[in-house]
Amino acid sequence: MIEIVGLTKVFSEKIIAVDNIDLKINEGKVVGFLGPNGAGKTTTLNMIVGLCKPTSGKIFINGIDVREEPEKVKKVIGFVPDEPLLFEKITGISYLNFICDIFEVPLEERRKRGGWLLQAFKLLDAIKDPISTYSHGMRQKLALISALIHKPKILILDEPIVGLDPESADILKQIMKRHASNGNLVFFTTHIMEIAEKICDEIAIIDRGKIVFQGTIDELRQTKGDKSLEQLFLEVTKSENEKIDFSFLD
């Protein structure tokens, strides 16, 4: 379970990226984290995984304070950042073995799980090549495999679909659903409303650092009317798209 209490992040002196948010995400669910660019999604995720220090507030993972016992918390998290963080000069398999060593995945387990993931994401042919030879999509796949190979209880993904081909995107969506149905938790950000609508059990919408909605899509429709998720999202985030005069481009 992820529990966020009064979380705030202030960059420099004036920029409030995350403004006193509270969130509770339970096991067995796929939760989408939506919001416009610069709303505070990545900053929130970065604070959960320890990349960023909260200005105030607390984050608990399975009841453990992230700041108090970071190693214990990180052990149960699989994380994929918005930009794959991979040392380009080593081979894909060296990287996977390194991750397995750090998470202490037994050899048999890494063969079984790693082999399955490599085949599912069709990365087996390139896995002995240096990462520098990979396309953006292949790097994203490698980052996803490295997050999944140690069987994390909590999967945190920042824009995981970006760069993936339709086939791999479909595989990932199924993995996310299956992962949650096995009693784990998937928390991910996306800008693609269709994906959120298809696979999320719940969504949380953040705008200008504040949580403006958390619940199911049906609950959102009940309060805002029976519209598409995209329209609902624009309404909740008070989008001013309608005021833009596109005739300027003619």
Element of type H or E holding 7? strand 2-11
DSSP summary character for residue 116:
H
Site map 77..116 versus other proteins, x via CB under 8 A: x-x-x---x-x-xx--xx-xxx-xxxxxxxx--xx--xx-
C-alpha–C-alpha distance, residues 210 and 213, integer Å: 9
Least separation in angstroms between CB 73 and other proteins: 8
C-alpha–C-alpha distance, residues 22 and 29, integer Å: 18
Least separation in angstroms between CB 150 and other proteins: 9
CA-CA-CA-CA torsion sign (60, 65, 67, 69):
negative
C-alpha–C-alpha distance, residues 73 and 64, integer Å: 7
Q: Which is nearer to other proteins, 156 or 205 (CB)?
A: 156
Element of type H or E holding 102? helix 92-102
Q: Which stretch binds other proteins (CB under 8 A): 45-53, 172-180, 191-199, 232-240?
A: 45-53
Please pick, from the candidates 1, 16, 52, 234, the single residue that binds other proteins as defined by CB under 8 A: 52
Size of the site for other proteins (CB under 8 A): 50
Please pick, from the candidates 49, 175, 196, 199, the single residue that binds other proteins as defined by CB under 8 A: 49
Q: Is 144 in the site for other proteins (CB under 8 A)?
A: no
Q: Which stretch binds other proteins (CB under 8 A): 57-65, 129-137, 178-186, 202-210?
A: 129-137
Instruction: Let me know how long the chain is.
Output: 250
Q: Are 86 and 34 in contact (CB under 8 A)?
A: no
Least separation in angstroms between CB 51 and other proteins: 5
Least separation in angstroms between CB 45 and other proteins: 11
Q: Which is nearer to other proteins, 11 or 22 (CB)?
A: 11
Q: Are 58 and 48 in contact (CB under 8 A)?
A: no
Q: Which of 49, 180, 146, 105 is CA-nearest to residue 138?
A: 146
Instruction: Give the gyration radius of the chain's Cα atoms.
Output: 19
Binding stretches for other proteins (CB under 8 A): 11-14, 49-53, 67, 70-75, 77, 79, 81, 85, 87, 89-90, 93-94, 96-98, 100-107, 110-111, 114-115, 118, 124-130, 132-133
